[in-house]
Structure formats: C-alpha cells, structure tokens
C-alpha cells in the first residue's frame, strides 16, 4: 500500500534562544515568521516546509539547514554585509549532468552551520 507521502512538511530545529534565532532567521536571512504560539517556539516556512524553532538545552542533534537560493554569491555577500559569520565562501560542491551544485556556509547564533545552496547553470562562476 502506498502511503501517499509526497513532501517534507516540517523539520524541528532546536535553538538555545528563540528570540536570538528569530533575529537571525528573520533579520539576517530575511525569512518570515509564520507562527509564534509560545515564547519558546516559533515556525518559519521556507518553500512550503515549516522549520519548527524550539528552545532546547541539548543542541547536539540538530541538522544542518540547506537553504536554496537564486544566486549563492550574491546571497553570501549580503549575509556577510549583515554581519553573519561566513565559514566557507561559495564553491562548487559537485558537477551534475544538467547543473553544478554550489554552496556556501555560515553560522547560526548557536554556532551551527547553515548552508546556502544553488543549482547553477553549467560553467557558472561567482561574480
């Protein structure tokens, strides 16, 4: 029997401080808060997927967030201008038959990696 699972709906992302996380996701990344039902939790929706920010004492099990963007070089430069710590400038991760995968990495307020990802046309280079 097919379960009819068609998409990722939500991911939990534990944070040490929800207000500080929102300042990063909303203020630095420009994402929109969809719901703030409690001071210790918030929801941000990216591409139809809800990121559930919840205050937690143990952050060791959090995943790296990979956020797709239109131009990884432009987005990385803007994050740097906004004071976000860039860990790795845009670089090609892999060459696929139809595109090249480019990424950069920055740190969130808790020191974890957040990636910007771009499926670039073959031969694309940052300007």
Find tokens 């990424």 and name the residue: 103
- CA atoms of 72 and 58, how far apart (whole Å): 31
Secondary-structure breakdown of the chain: helix, strand, coil percentages, each rounded to the nearest 5? 15, 45, 40
pLDDT in tens, 26-81: 999 999 999 999 999 999 999 999 999 999 999 988 889 999 999 999 999 999 99
Residue 1 has pLDDT above 90, yes or no: no
Q: According to the model, what pLDDT value does residue 112 have?
A: 95
| CATH fold for the domain made of 64-127 | 2,3-Dihydroxybiphenyl 1,2-Dioxygenase; domain 1 (3.10.180)
What is the second-level CATH architecture of the domain 6-59?
Answer: Roll (3.10)
Q: How many CB atoms lie within 10 A of CB 83?
A: 8
Closest to 112 (Cα-Cα) out of 89, 83, 87, 75: 87
CATH 3.10.180.10 intervals, the chain: 6-59, 64-127
Mean residue pLDDT across the chain: 95
Indicate the pTM of the whole model.
Answer: 0.91
């Amino acid at each position: 029997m097919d379960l009819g699972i068609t998409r990722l709906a939500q991911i939990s992302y534990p944070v040490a401080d929800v207000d500080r996380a929102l300042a990063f996701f909303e203020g630095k990344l420009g994402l929109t808060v969809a719901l703030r039902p409690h001071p210790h939790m918030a929801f941000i929706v990216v591409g139809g997927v809800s990121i559930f920010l919840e205050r937690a004492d143990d952050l060791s099990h959090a995943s790296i967030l990979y956020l797709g963007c239109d131009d990884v070089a432009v987005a990385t430069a803007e994050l740097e201008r906004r004071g976000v710590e860039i860990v790795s400038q845009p670089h090609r991760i892999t060459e696929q038959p139809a595109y090249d995968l480019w990424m950069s990495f920055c740190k969130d307020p808790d020191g974890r990696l957040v990636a910007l990802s771009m499926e670039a046309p073959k031969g694309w280079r940052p300007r």
